[in-house]
Structures are given as C-alpha cells and as structure tokens.
C-alpha cells in the first residue's frame, strides 16, 4: 500500500493547497452573492479592481496552468464585472489589503486562502448583481497575495442561496482546535464532519450527553414487559394448557423469551433511536453541494456552520473560520426550492 | 478510553503497519469493490452459484416429495438436518463474538476482521434457518411458530425449548443484521463519495442514508454501537445456550446434561473462529489484503481457537466422567457404547456402529488444535488453513455425535437402528454452502469488507493528542510501537 | 455532489405512512377476508337434486333422524341412501321431473352423488354421537333422569328454514373451543336435540351448572386431535 496518499488522489484534490484558483473554489466563493434579507440587507457582492484581476491572472502561473476553460471564462467575466465596478476602486483596494493580511496567515499554514470582503457600501450598490462572483485570493511569490474576483450580473431572481460555510482541515488536531473556537463563539447550528469518530470532539463541540441509551432502555423494558404479558396472556389466561406437568404460568420457562424480546426491542429502539436522533435518512443536504466534502468520508475533517444559525453572519463567520486556519474554506450554496 | 498499559499489550492498538494513512485504509478497502473482480473471485463465485442452484433444486424436490427423502427415521428422528442447523448457527457465533465481545474488551485489532465476521454471522444464520424450517415438514405452516392470533384460537407453547429457539435464532438474526448494517453506514458513505458513476453513487448513497460524518451523529452512533455490543454479547451466549436447551431439557441420555450451554457456546466460538479464519485466508490471498489482515491477527485468532478447543475437550471428558460417576447405566451406554465404541459391547460383542464419528470429532477438535501451542504453527498460513478445516469438520461431527449417537440405540430393542444419510441429505448440506458462499462473495465484492471508519479510528494519529485528560497516548512512548508491525509474508 | 432530490428527505415519513397503512390493511384483509366467517359460512353447493330441507324438515315436519338415522349413535351423521327417498317417493310425486335422478339411482343401483357441505379436516376427530347421545345430569325437577346434549341447530343452524343447505356457523377450531369452554348456552334435553328454535325454560336454566358439570367438554389437544 502506498503511504503517499497524494498518489491516489484526484489531481484537483492534490493541488488544493497550492493553487486555489480552482473551479469549485470559484463556485463556492461565488456564494457570497445573495445574502439573507435579515443580514442587514447587505449583499456582500465583493469586488476587485481590474488591475487586481489582471494581476491575479498574470501572476498565478500555477493556477493558469491547471485552470481549464471554465476559470478562463471566469476571468473574462471578472474583467467585465470589474470594469463595471471601477468606481469602487478604493473599496476594492481595501478589500485586497484585507485579503493580503489573511492570506499571510494562511501562507504560514501552508495553505491557500480565501479572502477579502467587499465594502458594505459597494455591496449595497451592487445588490442587484445577484450572481456576483466571489473573490479568491492565493499566495504568489513568497506570500504576496492577490485577490481574483469574478463578478457577474444577472437580472433574474437568485436560484440559490448560501447554506453553510464549510472549512476543511487536514488533521484531527486542527479540527478540534477549530471546533473549540467555533464553540466558544457561541454557534449552535454547526457541525464537525469526520471520517471516523474523533475522540475529544464531544467536549470540543460542547455537546451534551446523547440520549440514545435512554431510548434503548425504555424499548428494552417494553420488550421485557411485553414478553411477560404475552406469555401470561397466551399460555396462562387465554388458553391455559398443562404440558409436561408444569403449571401454565410458570416463571422459569418464561426467562428465555423475556430475555430475547428485551434484546430484540432494545435493538430496534437503538436503531430507530439512532435514526431519529440523527435525523437520518436525509439523502439531500446542502453540504453535498460541495465536491470537496466527499473527502469527509476519506481523510479530511470539516466544520460546517449553517446560515440558519442565529449568530451567522457572512463576514464574521468567515473571519472566525479563517482564524482557525482551515486548509480550505468555502461557502456552500443550495438551490432555492 | 483511559486505557491502561496491559490492555495495550492485549492489542488495543491497530495491528497495521506504522505510517498507514487514513487514505491508505480507504484505498485498500474500497478498491476491492471498485476494481474488476480478481479471477480468484470468479473461480469461487461460479461454483457457489451452481451449489446454490443445487440447494434450491433439493428444496423443491424435498417439498414436492416430503421430508421422507431425508434419512431421518426411527429411532434417529433428528439427524443431518438438526446437525447442520446447529453447526451453521455455531459458525455464526464468531461474528458476534468478534464484533461485540472484543469491542467491549477494547480489542481494537478486531477492526480488521469484524465486518467480515459479522457478514459471516448473518449468512450462516440464514443457512442454519433453512433446516429447522424444512424439518417442520410443512414449511408453509411455519408461521404457526409466530404468536399470531388465528382461527384456531391457539398460541405457541412458550414452555417449549423449541419455541425459545425460534425466538433466539430470529432475534439473533435480526440483531446481527441491524448491527452489521449500522456498522456499514459510514463505510457505505465512503463508497458513495468515491463512486465515479451516478448510478453507483445513488445505490450506495441510498444505502448510506445520507450519512455525512457529522460528529453530532457520530456521538449517537458510537453510543448506539456500544449498546449493540452490550446486548449482542449476552445474546450470542443465549442463542447457543438455548440451542443446547433443545437437547438438555429432554430426558434422552446423552442430551440431558447441565454442562450443555457453556459447552455449546465454547464449541460455537471454536467453530466460528475456524471458519472465519478459513475464509479470511482465502479472501486475503485472492484480494491481496496482507497489509490489513496481518499474521498477527491470525496469531490471535489461533490462540482463541486453542483456548476454546481446550474448553470443548474438557466438556467431552466431563461427559464421560458424569456418565461413569452417576452410575446411570443408560448414560454410560450412550457414551461408552454408542460413542466411544468400547467398554460396553452389545449382545453380539460389537462396538456401537457409529464409533468412528466420535473419534473423528475428537481427532479434529481436541488433538488438531493442540498444534497451536507452537508459534510456528500459529503463524504459518498453510498449517492454520489445514487445522481450521479440520476444526470445521470436527465441529460438524460433534453435532452429529450428540444428535445421532444419542438416538440410534435407545432404551428399547425396538428403537435400535442406525442412521444412513440419503443423497438429498448430502446435497442439501452441500447446497447451503452455495447459499453461504454466494452471499459471502457478493458481500466482499460490493460491500466494504473491512470496517473502514473503525480501522481509521485505531490508527495512532487518529485522535488529537492535546486534550487535557491524561490519555495514555499523550506519551509518545505509548504511541507507535505498542504492537510491532507484523512482518509481511 | 448532490445526488438525490430534496423531496427524498420525505422518505422516512412516507415509509412510515405507507408502512402503517399497509400493515393495518394486511391485518384487516387477513382478519376479515380470510376468516372462516367469510370463507366458510354461506357455502351452499348445488345438489344433484334440489332437495328442500325447508319443505321436508320445516313444513312437513320430518324429524332430522328420519333421514340422518343413527346420528346419535354413530360418529358420522350419515347421508341417507336412495332407498330413504324412495320410501316416500315411490308413492308421492312419482312423476316429478326433479326427482328423476333419484328414480334413476333406484333403478340402476348407482348411489346419488350428493355434495358434502360440512367437511372437517382429517386431523380433527369429530363424533356426532358424543354431542347428541346425552350426558347424564342430576335428576330433573320431578326426580326423573335428565340427559343433556347439543341440538342440531347449534352447529347447523335453522335447517328447517333452508331451501338449500349451507354452512351456518364458522366451523373452525376457535369456534369449537368457544363452546367447549362454555357450553351452557347450547345444552338442551336430549329429547329436544332435533327441535328447531328450542327455547330453554327458566326451570332448565336454573340447572345450567349441573348440566355443564355433566358434559365437561375437553379443551386439551387430544380431545379432538387423536
């Protein structure tokens, strides 16, 4: 078996940390566009200057090398959008600066980083740009950062909305550290996704004890009592027959069935209790929109924070997650039904 | 957790080579279901399907003719059918033992073999259930065994050990399937996420129930798994105890024995481990899984077989002691004449005609596993393969001996006879191997046969080391080299 | 990659709903359709001769035992032979077209092929005579001997009102057991066994316990499955 896992992974995944201008990142970052109305009405349609976009395209040789037709298209789109947003140059510069600052950290962590927020004023101005593409920054030449942004405009209603932030980590240690920070920030509708149960994550997430044992116990007792009632009803009350000289309701002969039914109903209780507590089966979930998430059942560790969380805020949540040094961060969108 | 050092020594750590990454595990297991089947798989699968067809034909023939086509007749009313039933049920016990009991004892080396053994349990119990179902003579009335209201106004007799058996076996089958499936959910999600085609993604996705590795789910899941282990442990002990009650609550000399429950359970584990190992050796070489299932695993399993083999041998000896010590001539007759073959001769001065079955049992079950005292034998693949086959045969003979040699020369001269298997006895038994291996081979081809998530959780770097509590693995010394990697063959 | 539509998340609810409906439906189907009350009661096959029990047993007032002779003394109720029919019909309605098969049977000696209405399975041992012969209860109100038995109508219904004989009661084990557990309603003086529409007197009902004690029907397996 090869110890080098890179060998067996799809190219996309392998290059993840190096050249973040990838298809899915652009897609995911695009999700900043349509914020929920209750988020102060600000649509953080993030912008970048044309110059920045060009620099991004020119500088990111690695990215260009792997960028296929789609990213190239995006570049064009970005240019158009950027031209349209030329008046927002000052704001965008500010955003680029932000991006640089965050990406330094990220560079330290050896990972590419998503960065940059748009100024609120600018965002408000472009609120109608429902399809605004988001920004992707990546390290270039010893930590120098560029933010590449696509912006597109569309007149139609948005067909998707942000569903959750998805932060990816390489190791369980990173995940647990990050989980502690998210927990301390007071989020509720968030989760960790791991390929196997990571010990210590219960505390790191601040989860309370599971109630499944209670469900199992109750079901087991129902099984026990129903065994007694069943046997006494059938063999002692409804049709008492004396067999082998034993009294119809004798206790010892009930023991095996009492035991078996206790076990059987405990098993059913545990199975259905598990499915109920985990709200499974749930075959459709916005988190599956992310292609990167497929590694969650392999060797990557994820934190997701849902937009449904009362504390969720596109900017603040993003900043919080960036602080935890994810190897990748994206905003996952779901189709509006 | 809070694992003390001795438990480490017993094998809490995974037995995988150091440096194994999570992705290595995923790859190693999933590729078996993703690549083309190796030729060895087809070589095994096609004969299995043929045997399955044979089994179905035998069943159709038996149903059309009645169970008179079996060799059972006065005085051996129970013969191959019940022998096969008990044998298959016993085979199943290793699966639950490995998945539940070793889980409770935190024997993490089990993770490489538990899925495999659980599947074996399910399939073995299915094979077992065929025999009593047919032995009722009119299987279409088998629903009478269920406590359903009916126009006859009658209910099952819950004082009958056969009724206990129905409940025990069905509960065992149900719980084994649930336990197995719950364990499979995260691994099915892994397969889903690796699938290249939409159809494959959808099939595995549907079975994975939308599992997304959420820790909020894992939290319930882990506890649920613990509960399953906790209920399966007494369950597996109860199942074979209850199977032994079928015999022990009767008044037949040779059956009416209080040591039957522990004796049967030990025998079940013994035979189950043997078959797990037999199959594991085949599958391991067909699928080249030497890095996931190491010689160290085999070594531990062989020790189990040595232990349970000695228990079984003790039970054999004890039966003779009781027969002699009780002074009951009928008991002595069964053991010395019917089984052992000498000491009690019949009027013509002959041994009991089935003495050879007893000696086949003793040679296979008691003498053969003694070779496992030697580490060389325990770690030699050909040697253990041969010995496990012997054990499988010996355990079949054990049930045959218990059932038939207790019945074939009874109290009365009128119930003296012998038992001769008919060709349908033999073909049906062979046919159940077809059912077993067909299901089993489909399983190893389409389902992750090693518990991916569980194996990952046993890797040294699987859990964060920073947590404040004093985990043993905080000390680097406890980490890497607890179990030296097994040498690859 | 999203592989399932959002609607699939309703699956557990749908399954629970469908499962409940299907389960209840299955129970109802078995309970109602496959019950002896549905499948057995009302079975009244066409006979080779349209013999009317209503006419013979009802209007003409023939005793059951005129044709089903010895029913109190033998296990089987007995289907009357052609001779019994011809006892009357060689003088009554000798030209009736509907009686032609009887006359033919009489002339050729071939038995009539009556269609059996009540058929118990082979593993059930039913004996008419034990039900009809009468068990000796204690002495009656005037000191005379009282024998109690089961009347024909308890199992066969009002034969005297049936144009074509059919199954009246759900002949199944549960139904047998009900009477064997508590026969008090069905016991009557042995003299009245063939009476249709017999009503017990208050005086008779006062002695119910004695009557039941005299009968004591078995409810163990070998009572009927020998």
Q: Please report the ipTM that was assigned to this predicted complex.
A: 0.88
Boundary residue ending a domain (A158, A191, A221) = A158
Cis peptide before B75 (omega within 30 of 0): yes
Q: Please, which chains are in contact with A (at least 3 CB pairs closer than 8 A)? A: B, C
| Separation between Cα atoms, residue A231 and residue B157, nearest integer Å | 9
Q: Are residues A132 and A241 in the same domain?
A: no
Higher per-residue pLDDT: A111 or B487: B487
Report the pLDDT value the prediction gives residue B347, as an integer from 0 to 100.
Answer: 72
Boundary residue ending a domain (A158, A188, A204) = A158
A182 alpha carbon, distance to own chain's centre? 13
Mean pLDDT, range C12-25, rounded to an integer: 94
Q: How close does chain B come to A229, measured CA to CA in Å?
A: 12
Report the pLDDT value the prediction gives residue A62, as an integer from 0 to 100.
Answer: 39
Q: Which residue of A has its CA nearest to B456?
A: A196
Q: How close does chain A come to C186, measured CA to CA in Å?
A: 21
Report the pLDDT value the prediction gives residue B449, as an integer from 0 to 100.
Answer: 86
Q: What are phi and psi of C146, to 5 degrees?
A: -120, 125
Q: Are residues A101 and A168 in the same domain?
A: no
Report the pLDDT value the prediction gives residue B339, as an integer from 0 to 100.
Answer: 87
Query: Binning pLDDT at 50, 70 and 90, where does residue C224 land?
Result: very high
Q: What are phi and psi of C192, to 5 degrees?
A: -105, 15
C179-194 b/e with 16+ CB inside 10 Å = b? bbeebeebbbbbeebb
Per-residue pLDDT reduced to its tens digit, A272-314: 999 999 998 999 999 999 989 999 999 899 999 999 898 899 8
In the β-sheet with A301-306, what is the strand arrangement from edge to edge? A190-193, A301-306, A160-169, A328-335
Question: What tokens does C216 get?
Answer: 């004591």
Residues of chain B scoring pLDDT < 70: 1-15, 343, 465-489
Q: Please, which chains are in contact with C (at least 3 CB pairs closer than 8 A)? A: A, B
Report the pLDDT value the prediction gives residue C138, as an integer from 0 to 100.
Answer: 73
CB contact under 8 A, B27 and A1: yes
Chain C, window 165-224: residues with a beta carbon less than 8 angstroms from a chain A beta carbon: 177, 219-221
Report the pLDDT value the prediction gives residue B227, as an integer from 0 to 100.
Answer: 94
Query: Binning pLDDT at 50, 70 and 90, where does residue A151 land?
Result: very low
Report the pLDDT value the prediction gives residue C77, as an integer from 0 to 100.
Answer: 86
Boundary residue ending a domain (A114, A138, A158) = A158
Q: Which residue of A has its CA nearest to C5?
A: A284
Number of domains in chain A: 2
Q: Are residues A151 and A222 in the same domain?
A: no
Q: Give which of A3, A172, A196 to mutate to test B binding, by max B Cβ within 10 Å.
A: A196
For chain A, helix, strand, coil in percent to 5 are: 50, 10, 35
Q: Which residue of B has its CA nearest to C5?
A: B202
Query: Binning pLDDT at 50, 70 and 90, where does residue A133 land?
Result: very low
| Separation between Cα atoms, residue A232 and residue A252, nearest integer Å | 12
Q: Using CB atoms, pick whichever of A267, A273, A295 lies closest to residue B175.
A: A267
Range of the domain at A142: 1-158
pLDDT at C139 over 50: yes
Chain C, window 145-204: residues with a beta carbon less than 8 angstroms from a chain B beta carbon: 170, 172-174, 177-178
CA quadruple A121, A126, A131, A133: dihedral sign: negative
Per-residue pLDDT reduced to its tens digit, A35-91: 333 333 333 333 334 444 444 444 444 344 444 444 444 544 445 444 444 444 444
3-state DSSP assignment of residue A136: strand
Q: Which residue of C has its CA nearest to B155?
A: C174
Do residues A115 and A42 lie in contact, with contact meaning Cβ atoms separated by under 8 Å?
Answer: no
**Chain B environment of A228 (Cβ under 8 Å):** none
Q: Are residues A141 and A192 in the same domain?
A: no
CB contact under 8 A, A200 and B467: yes
Per-residue pLDDT reduced to its tens digit, A187-220: 989 999 999 999 889 999 999 999 999 999 999 9
| Separation between Cα atoms, residue A36 and residue A20, nearest integer Å | 27
CA-derived radius of gyration, chain A: 28
């Amino acid at each position: 078996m090869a110890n080098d896992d890179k060998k067996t992974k799809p190219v996309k995944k392998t290059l993840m940390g190096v050249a973040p201008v990838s298809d899915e990142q652009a897609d995911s970052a695009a999700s900043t566009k349509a914020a929920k109305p209750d988020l102060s009405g600000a649509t953080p349609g993030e912008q970048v200057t044309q110059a920045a976009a060009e620099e991004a395209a020119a500088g990111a040789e690695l990215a260009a090398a792997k960028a296929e037709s789609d990213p190239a298209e995006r570049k064009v789109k970005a240019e158009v959008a950027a031209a349209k947003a030329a008046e927002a140059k000052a704001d965008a510069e500010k955003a680029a600066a932000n991006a640089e600052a965050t990406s330094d950290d990220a560079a330290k962590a050896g990972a590419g980083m998503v960065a940059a927020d748009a100024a609120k004023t600018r965002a408000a101005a472009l609120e109608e740009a429902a399809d605004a593409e988001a920004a992707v920054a990546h390290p270039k030449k010893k930590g120098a950062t560029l933010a590449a942004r696509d912006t597109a405009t569309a007149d139609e209603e948005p067909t998707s909305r942000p569903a959750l932030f998805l932060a990816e980590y390489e190791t369980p240690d990173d995940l647990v550290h990050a989980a502690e920070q998210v927990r301390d920030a007071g989020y509720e509708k968030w989760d960790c996704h791991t390929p196997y149960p990571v010990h210590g994550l219960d505390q790191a997430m601040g989860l309370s004890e599971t109630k499944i044992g209670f469900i199992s116990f109750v079901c087991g007792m129902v099984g026990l009592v129903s065994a007694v009632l069943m046997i006494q009803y059938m063999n002692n009350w409804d049709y008492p027959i004396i067999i082998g000289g034993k009294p119809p309701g004798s206790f010892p002969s009930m023991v095996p069935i009492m035991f078996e039914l206790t076990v059987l109903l405990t098993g059913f209780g545990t199975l259905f209790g598990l499915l109920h507590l985990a709200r499974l089966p749930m075959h459709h979930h916005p988190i599956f929109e992310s292609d990167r998430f497929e590694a969650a059942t392999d060797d990557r560790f994820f934190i997701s924070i849902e937009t449904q969380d009362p504390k969720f805020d596109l900017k603040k949540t993003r900043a919080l997650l960036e602080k935890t040094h994810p190897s990748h961060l994206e905003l996952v969108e779901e189709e509006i039904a | 957790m809070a694992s003390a050092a001795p438990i480490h020594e017993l094998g809490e750590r995974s037995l995988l080579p150091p440096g194994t990454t999570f992705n290595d595990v995923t790859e190693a297991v999933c590729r078996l279901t993703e690549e083309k089947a190796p030729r060895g798989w087809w070589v095994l699968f096609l004969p299995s399907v043929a045997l399955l067809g044979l089994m179905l034909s035998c069943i159709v023939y038996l149903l059309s003719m009645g169970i008179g086509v079996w060799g059972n007749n006065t005085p051996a009313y129970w013969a191959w059918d019940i022998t096969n039933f008990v044998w298959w049920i016993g085979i199943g016990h290793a699966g639950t033992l490995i998945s539940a009991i070793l889980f409770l004892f935190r024997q993490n080396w089990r993770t490489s073999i538990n899925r495999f053994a659980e599947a074996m349990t399910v399939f073995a119990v299915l094979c077992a259930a065929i025999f009593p179902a047919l032995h009722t003579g009119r299987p279409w009335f088998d629903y009478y065994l269920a406590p359903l209201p009916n126009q006859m106004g009658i209910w099952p007799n819950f004082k009958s050990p056969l009724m206990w058996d129905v409940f025990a076996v069905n509960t065992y089958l149900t719980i084994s399937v649930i336990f197995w499936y719950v364990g499979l959910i995260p691994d099915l999600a892994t397969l889903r996420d690796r699938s290249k085609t939409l159809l494959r993604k959808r099939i595995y996705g549907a079975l994975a129930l939308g599992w997304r590795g959420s820790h909020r789910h894992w939290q319930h899941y882990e506890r649920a798994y613990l509960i399953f282990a906790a209920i399966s442990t007494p369950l597996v002990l109860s199942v074979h105890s209850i199977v032994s009650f079928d015999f022990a609550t009767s008044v037949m000399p040779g059956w009416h024995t209080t040591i039957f429950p522990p004796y049967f359970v030990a025998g079940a584990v013994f035979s189950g481990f043997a078959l797990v190992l037999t199959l594991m050796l085949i599958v391991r070489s067909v699928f080249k899984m030497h890095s996931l299932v190491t010689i160290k695993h085999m070594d531990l399993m062989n020790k189990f077989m040595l232990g349970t083999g000695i228990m079984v041998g003790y039970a054999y000896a004890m039966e003779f002691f009781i027969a002699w010590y009780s002074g009951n001539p009928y008991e002595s007759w069964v053991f010395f004449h019917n089984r052992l073959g000498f000491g009690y001769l019949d009027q013509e001065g002959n041994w009991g005609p089935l003495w050879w079955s007893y000696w086949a049992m003793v040679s296979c079950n008691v003498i053969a596993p003694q070779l496992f005292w030697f580490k060389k034998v325990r770690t030699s693949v050909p040697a253990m393969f041969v010995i496990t086959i012997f054990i499988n045969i010996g355990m079949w003979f054990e049930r045959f001996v218990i059932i038939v040699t207790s019945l074939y020369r009874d109290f009365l001269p009128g119930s003296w006879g012998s038992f001769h298997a008919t060709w349908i006895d033999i073909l049906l038994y062979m046919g159940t191997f077809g059912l077993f291996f067909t299901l089993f081979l489909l399983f190893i081809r389409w389902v992750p046969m090693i518990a991916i998530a569980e194996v990952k959780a046993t890797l040294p770097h699987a859990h964060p080391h920073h947590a404040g509590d004093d985990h043993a693995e905080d000390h680097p010394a406890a980490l890497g080299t607890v179990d030296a990697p097994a040498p690859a063959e | 990659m999203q592989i399932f539509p959002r609607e699939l998340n309703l699956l557990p609810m749908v399954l629970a709903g469908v499962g409940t409906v299907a389960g209840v439906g299955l129970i109802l189907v078995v309970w109602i359709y496959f019950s002896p009350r549905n499948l057995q009661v009302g079975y009244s096959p066409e006979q080779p001769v349209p013999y009317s029990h209503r006419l013979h047993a009802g209007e003409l007032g023939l005793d059951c035992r005129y044709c089903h002779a010895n029913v109190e003394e033998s296990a089987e109720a007995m289907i009357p032979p052609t001779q019994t029919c011809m006892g009357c019909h060689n003088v009554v309605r000798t030209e009736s077209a509907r009686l032609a098969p009887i006359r033919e049977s009489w002339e050729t000696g071939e038995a009539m092929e009556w269609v059996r209405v009540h058929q118990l399975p082979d593993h059930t041992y039913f004996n008419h005579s034990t039900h009809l012969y009468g068990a000796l209860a204690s002495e009656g109100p005037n000191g005379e001997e009282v024998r109690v038995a089961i009347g024909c109508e308890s199992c066969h219904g009002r034969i005297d009102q049936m144009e074509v004989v059919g199954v009246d009661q759900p002949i199944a084990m549960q139904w047998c057991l009900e009477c064997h557990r508590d026969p008090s309603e069905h016991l009557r003086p042995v003299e009245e066994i063939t009476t249709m529409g017999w009503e017990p007197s208050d005086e008779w009902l006062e002695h119910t316990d004695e009557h039941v004690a005299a009968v004591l029907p078995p409810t163990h397996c070998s009572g009927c499955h020998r």
